Amino acid sequence: MSVTAAFPGMSPFRQQVIRAPVNPMDKCTVVSIFPFHIRETKPTISPSTFIIAPGSYENPTLLVVGPSSWWREIDEKQPMLEIPVSSIQVADAIVRDYCNGLLGCNMSDIMPGLFYLQGAVQQKNLKIDHLPELDVAASKQRRWFEKLIELADIDWAKTNGNPLCINSLMRHAAKELGLEATKDWMEDFKNLQMIRCIACGALRNPAFPVCGSCHAVIDKKRAEELGLVFAK
């Protein structure tokens, strides 16, 4: 296959890449029980874009990937040299690059339910042949959800109930673990307006009588209703 190169810094009019035949047996399957859409782009290789639909333990999403390639320039008179990238390297890059850096993820036992298997795995055989791997991924994802909830509680307390500190992953984690009713930060804050503290001017949550920035008691009546006692 000969196509015009489209890599940064390379002339599309002189350089061409010729891809060797792909090994049909070089396949890996990325498995996702992560309940969000994933789009990973690797601009230095081709194929370069990998899309995984949301999945769950009951209905995992599978993406079969083959090998990719990148090209090294030799000179202007020769086709560029193809450097093959195996399917297992591609699958590993998809999982690691997406998960690495996510809040609360340690890339070990606390991470999203995203992993890969060698070979082209079919949906009907996944829970028959790879149930242990699926269970491990579910355990890791549950621990990750628990970690997100822990971080949400900390941020909620630190910010005196600022809804901006709670992201969609934290809210989804609470739903997955059935903790919606026990978390104040799971309330609908679309209509909540942060107001200025009359003492220091910082934004504060009007549902709380004390400013989280200067600790001034703004709403004394509300504080009395909550039975708050302040040192003199």
pLDDT at 15: 60
Q: Is-contact 171 103, C-beta < 8 A?
A: no
The DSSP result for the chain, as a single string, is: -EEE---TTS-TTT-EEEPPPP-TT--EEEEE--SS-EEEE-TTSBS-EEEE----SSS-EEEEE--EEEEE---TTSPBEEEEE-HHHHHHHHHHHHHTT-TT--SSSSS-SEEEEES---HHHHHHHSHHHHHHHHHHHHHHHHHHHHHHHHHHHHTTS-GGG--HHHHHHHHHTT-GGG-GGGS--TT---EE-TTT--EE-TTSSB-TTT--B--HHHHHHTT-----
In the structure encoding, which two tokens stand for residue 128, read together? 């028959």
User: pLDDT truncated to tens, each residue of the chain (232 aa)?
Assistant: 444 444 444 444 456 667 788 899 999 999 999 999 999 999 999 999 999 999 999 999 999 999 999 988 877 777 788 899 999 999 999 999 999 989 999 999 999 999 999 999 999 999 999 999 999 999 999 999 999 999 999 999 888 788 888 999 999 999 999 998 899 888 765 445 678 888 888 878 777 888 878 888 888 887 787 777 776 6
pTM (two decimals) = 0.75
pLDDT at 222: 79
**Cis peptide bond upstream of 47, omega within 30:** yes
Q: What is the CA radius of gyration of the chain?
A: 25
Domain edges within the chain:
2-140, 193-232
What are the b/e assignments for 47-62, b being 16+ CB within 10 Å?
Answer: eeebebeebeeeebbb
pLDDT at 193: 64
pLDDT at 76: 75
Q: Is-contact 79 16, C-beta < 8 A?
A: yes
